[in-house]
């Protein structure tokens, strides 16, 4: 399991492109017949992917977790971005089509991923209480439309794991989709000092790129990403992006406050 350590914003401004990619980019996550995970020191979030094709994949534990089972002290939210598949949690099987979400609470022992071509993207963070396993179909997510076509940021934010949706200890999770012609995400930008965030970009044509912007509002940097790559965003950083073609992304947050609207807006004119 790759480990990503925290970065101070005063150090961040001194990084070159390669250093920024090493510290914040999560790539090579989705591999056929494998489960890959990255452990971050940002609110102890783990970002992972399970991509079964010819065989079922069982989630094991890792030395970094120091626990007998992956979820002994953790909760997890999962979005399927591929073909239909299933997840079995302690002998109970749950079917997931594309963009369905499964929440698994603390204390579950066995998690098995199945489905030829399914791509399960998951986010896990520490949990202090047990919540039941909960499945939400894509059509049942809570939608919120934001932006407009005149600013190329007309998008629907589909909330799955949040205070009025699937219950969790501290995890928040959802998917953002765009209206035709719109390509800007999270613009105008915002900060939320009480929690970190991770983006997983997907459904981008292989010949196209995502340009992700991060950093403090007065000292920003950018990074080019490919399809099915993720970025870790510290609490001090903006997290905005634009692409050369249509795309979607999963957003996941962990930290002190699980109120979705707890954000500190940044005026576009103050970005540098």
Domain locations along the chain: 2-270
When pLDDT is averaged across residues 234-241 and rounded to a whole number, the result is: 97
Is 147 a residue whose pLDDT tops 90? Answer: yes
Q: Mean pLDDT across the stretch 199-216?
A: 97
Share of residues in the chain with pLDDT > 70 (%): 100
Is the pLDDT at 39 greater than 90, yes or no? yes
Residue 262 has pLDDT above 90, yes or no: no
| Predicted local distance difference test score (pLDDT) of residue 225 | 98
pLDDT digits (tens, 9 = 90+) for 150-162: 999 999 999 999 9
Give the pLDDT score at 144.
Answer: 94
Quote the mean pLDDT of the chain.
96
Has residue 72 got a pLDDT over 90? yes
CA distance 253 to 232: 10
- Contact of 26 with 229, CB cutoff 8 Å: yes
Q: What is the model's pLDDT at position 256?
A: 87
Number of Cβ within a 10 Å radius of residue 10: 9
CATH class of the region 2-270: mainly beta
Q: What is the mean pLDDT of residues 199-206?
A: 97
**Residue-by-residue DSSP string for 177-195:** EE-TT--EES-S-EE-TTE
Does 271 have pLDDT greater than 90? yes
DSSP 122-159: EEEEE-SS----EEE-GGGSEEEEES-GGGT--EEEEE
């Amino acid at each position: 399991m790759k480990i990503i350590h925290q970065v101070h914003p005063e150090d961040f401004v001194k990084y070159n492109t390669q250093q920024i990619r090493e510290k914040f980019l999560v790539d090579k996550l989705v591999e056929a017949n494998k489960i890959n995970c990255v452990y971050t020191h940002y609110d102890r979030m783990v970002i992972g992917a399970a991509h079964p094709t010819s065989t079922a994949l069982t989630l094991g534990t890792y030395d970094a977790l120091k626990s007998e089972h992956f979820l002994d002290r953790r909760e997890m939210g999962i979005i399927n971005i591929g073909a239909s598949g299933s997840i079995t949690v302690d002998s109970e099987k749950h079917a997931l089509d594309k963009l369905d979400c499964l929440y698994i609470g603390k204390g579950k022992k066995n998690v098995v991923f199945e489905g030829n071509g399914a791509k399960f993207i998951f986010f896990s963070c520490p949990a202090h209480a047990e919540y039941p396993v909960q499945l939400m179909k894509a059509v049942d997510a809570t939608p919120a439309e934001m932006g407009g076509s005149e600013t190329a940021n007309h998008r629907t934010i589909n909330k799955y794991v949040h205070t009025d949706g699937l219950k969790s200890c501290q995890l928040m999770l959802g998917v953002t989709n765009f209206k035709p012609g719109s390509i800007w995400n999270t613009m105008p930008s915002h900060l939320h000092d009480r929690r970190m965030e991770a983006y997983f970009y997907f459904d981008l044509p292989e010949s196209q790129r995502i340009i992700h912007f991060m950093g403090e509002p007065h000292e920003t940097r950018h990074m080019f990403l490919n399809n099915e790559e993720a970025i870790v965003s510290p609490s001090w950083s903006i997290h905005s992006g634009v692409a050369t073609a249509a795309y979607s992304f999963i957003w996941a947050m962990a930290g002190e406050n699980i109120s979705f609207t707890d954000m500190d807006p940044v005026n576009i004119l103050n970005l540098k």
